[in-house]
Amino acid sequence: MSIDISFTTGAKLVKVESLTTLLTNFRQQLERDSGSTVNRIDTNAAELLSDLCRFLDLSEQNRRKVIGVNGARHVDFVEHTSFVTTVQH
């Protein structure tokens, strides 16, 4: 039994095109949110990965798996600090 290479190549092409579209949309959202171009955005890698996971609608468990323990700790701290400082009356 042999594998139909044309099918797997086509399926891979669809995945690549879909991922390309998703990542392009993510970059555009970053640029809109920051008011700057992607080459001028200064960000932390854990925060960027966390945002990407949320953009891709990953579960909280999977997002934490992607960013790791230290990344999750950092993002939790940043989000808590931002929330506390913006909600003060």
In contact, 56 and 27? CB cutoff 8 Å:
no
Looking at the structure of the chain, the number of domains it has is: 2
Residue 33 and residue 70 in one domain: no
Question: What domain range is 9 assigned to?
Answer: 1-42
Residues 33 and 62 in one domain: no
The predicted model scores a pTM of 0.70
| Residues 17 and 36 placed together within one structural domain of the fold | yes
pLDDT of 50 reads 96
Query: Is 89 found in the same domain as 51?
Result: yes
Claim to verify: residue 30 and residue 59 sit in the same structural domain: no
Question: Based on the domain organization, do 54 and 34 belong to the same domain?
Answer: no
The DSSP line for 32-87 is HHHTS-GGG----HHHHHHHHHHHTT--HHHHHHHHHHHHHHHHHHHHHHHHHHHH
**pLDDT in the model for residue 17:** 77
* Residues 30 and 65 occupy one common structural domain: no
pLDDT in tens, 12-53: 666 777 889 999 999 999 999 999 999 999 999 999 999 999
